Amino acid sequence: MIHPTAIVDPAAEVHSGARIGPYCIVGPGATIGEDTELQHHVTVMGPAIIGRGNLFYAYSSIGQRTQDLKYAGEPTHLEIGDGNTFREFCTVNRGTLPGAKTVIGSGGNFLSYAHIAHDCTVGSNVIFSNNGTLAGHVGVGDHVIIGGLTAIHQFCRVGRHAIIGGCSKIVQDVPPFFIADGNPAEIRGVNLIGLERAGFPAETVRALKEAYRILYRGKHNVKQAVEVLQKEFGTVLEIAELCTFIESSRRGIIR
C-alpha cells in the first residue's frame, strides 16, 4: 500500500493497512495507523503518532519542527487521534520544549490551509474552515467551529461547543457554548443552533442564555457575574463548566 515513488524512512512505522500515495515523505519516528491515507505529496515528520482512519489530502505538512525561534533541536512530539480529515496544504507543527507535544483529537475536519502551531491542544469533532489559524499554545475544546481566515493568539483558549465567525481576530479566551465574531472579536450570543444540533436539553439552553445576559448584558464585572451564576445555576453542569473556564483564564475572556 506504499506507492513506489513515496519515500518512507526505515525508522518510520507504517501499518500494513495504511495507504501512502505518490511522492509522499514519511520521516523517522513517524507512526502511521491502520486505514490512514496520505493522498499524494504529503509530508509527515516525526516523532509523531497518527491514529487510524485519518485522511491527508495533497501537500499537507504534518509534524514538522516548531516555528518557535527558541527551539534548539530537542525531541518534541505530535499526536493525532482517529478519523480526522486534513485538506490541501494543512500544516501541523510539533511541540517546542523537550518532550512537549502538539495534540489533536479525533473526528476533526481541517479545511485547506488550516494551521495548528506548536504546543496546541485541539479536541475532537472540531471544524477549522479554510485558513483557520492557531498560534502556539492554543487550546481548543471539543465540537468547536472556527470560521475561515480566523486567527487565534498565543495561549488563548476556545471552550467546547463555541463557534467563531470568519475573519475574526481572537486575542482572549472564547467561553464555551458562545458565539464570537469580529475584529477584534466580541461575544455575540449563545451558540443556539450548535447546541440544538448536539442535543442539549431546553433547560440547559435557557440557563446558558441567562448566563450570557448576566455576563454580557448586566451591570456586573466578570467576577461578580461568575458569583451570580454559581449561586443561581450551580446545579447546571454547563454553567459550572462555564464558570470554571472563566476563573481559570490567564488572558481573560472576550468581552
Active site residue 153: no
Catalytic residue among 27, 53, 63, 118: 118
Catalytic residue among 41, 51, 63, 119: 119
DSSP assignment letter at 227: H
Active site residue 15: no
Catalytic residue among 108, 136, 147, 159: 136
Q: Are 13 and 33 in contact (CB under 8 A)?
A: no
Distance, CA of 12 to CA of 76 (rounded, Å): 16
Residue whose C-alpha cell is 439552553: 205
Q: And the C-alpha cell for 82?
A: 482517529
Active site residue 118: yes
Q: Is the N-terminal amide bond of 175 cis, ω within 30° of 0?
A: no
Q: Give the residue among 182, 161, 158, 184 at the shortest CA–CA distance from 171.
A: 184
Q: Are 134 and 140 in contact (CB under 8 A)?
A: yes
**DSSP for 85-142?**
EE-TT-EEE--SSTT-EEEE-SS-EE-TT-EE-TT-EE-SS-EE-TT-EE-TT-EE-T
Catalogue the active-site residues: 118-119, 136
